[in-house]
Amino acid sequence: MLRKVWAGTAVGLLALSLAACNNSDTGGDGGDAGSGNEPIVLGFSQVGAESGWRTANTTSIKESAAEAGIELKFDDAQGKQENQITAIRNFIQQKVDVIAFSPKVETGFETVLKEAKDAGIPVILTDRAVDTQDKTLYKSFLGSDFVKEGRLSGEWLVNEMKSATGDVNIVELQGTTGSAPANDRKKGFAEAIAKDPKLKVIASQSGDFTRAGGKQVMEQFVKANPKIDVLFAHNDDMGLGALEAITAAGKVPGKDIKIITIDAVKDGMQALADGKFNFIAECSPLLGPQLMELVKKVNKGESVPARIETQETTFTQEQAKAALPTRKY
């Protein structure tokens, strides 16, 4: 009898130590996914690594998951929507607790989101949105107001050019075709500059949010348009790529061609401080901490806001000089 009691005690102690070990593996309170104390399992599908913003966003998500004790299954879609859809289906197969992703484009995700809903797995959208009428397909959207970013960019230009005489020729480097930031930034910018009829967008084309894309399209713009006064680039990286094309054409960026961009990543802020850019509207990639808090609430079945917008600002050249030393990304 005594042997049985000892054996039972040993088994109990072993189970407790395993649980403790399991808990310490997570490093935080990301537990209570199921009945035991195992960590919440989050499946995350990332667009790719197309820009400085994206890599900063990935770092924020990975670091925040580790700090929160959440087990992260991270998939990099290499810029392909079909890879995101495959990743989400894999997360469903693996029965993760929560799925989060940044949809590369606004359309084409409804079917797989219905599959996640049917599997009882809650979904959180981060950074970019999807264009769907069925708002039950995701629990929350966490990200920026891209229309506002475009509008702030346009409002700065209206003020900057208020005393200019004659037409002000603008070329626009759009983000990834079909993506929420490209659609919305274009919309906000156009609405703002409509206030001044001398501000004219004479060319607008996607550079896919990359430096190479920005350079390539700007080379075409410069060849086809002898008089360009302003470049509006939907992100810093395309603006940085365009710098090469502008200087190669013998023009001085920031002076001959004023440059407005969005994001405010370090390299963009450096270009702004150096006088090569003229204005940046911030778009924060540091969504990780807020996302992990949302994941824990959603996993517990708690209600969460349908839309959570990040707090952002804008920068002039002087403000960039002051902000650079403490810039986090």
Taking the CB of residue 192, how many other CB atoms lie within 10 A of it?
20
> CA 262: distance to chain centroid?
12
Stretch that binds ligand GZL, among 16-24, 45-53, 85-93, 130-138 (CB under 6 A): 45-53
| Least spacing, CB of residue 50 vs ligand GZL, in Å | 5
Asked if 73 and 43 touch (Cβ cutoff 8 Å), the reply is: yes
| Least spacing, CB of residue 260 vs ligand GZL, in Å | 13
Q: How many helices and strands in the chain, by DSSP H and E?
A: 11, 12
| Least spacing, CB of residue 237 vs ligand GZL, in Å | 6
Q: Is the sign of the CA dihedral 154, 156, 159, 160 positive or negative? A: negative
Considering only 38, 41, 53, 99, the residue that binds ligand GZL (CB under 6 A) is: 53
- Residues contacting ligand GZL: total by CB under 6 A: 15
Q: Are strands 41-46 and 98-101 parallel, antiparallel or unpaired?
A: parallel
Exposed, middle or buried by CB within 10 Å (0-12, 13-18, 19+), for 82? Answer: exposed
Binding mask 242-281 for ligand GZL (x = CB under 6 A): --------------------xx------------------
Site membership for ligand GZL, residue 84 (CB under 6 A): no
Considering only 23, 26, 46, 51, the residue that binds ligand GZL (CB under 6 A) is: 51
Binding mask 114-153 for ligand GZL (x = CB under 6 A): -------------xx--------------xx---------
**E strand map for 78-196:** 98-101, 123-126, 140-143, 168-174
Q: Which two tokens stand for residue 146?
A: 């891209």
List of residues contacting ligand GZL (CB under 6 A):
50-51, 53-54, 127-128, 143-144, 181, 209, 235, 237, 262-263, 283
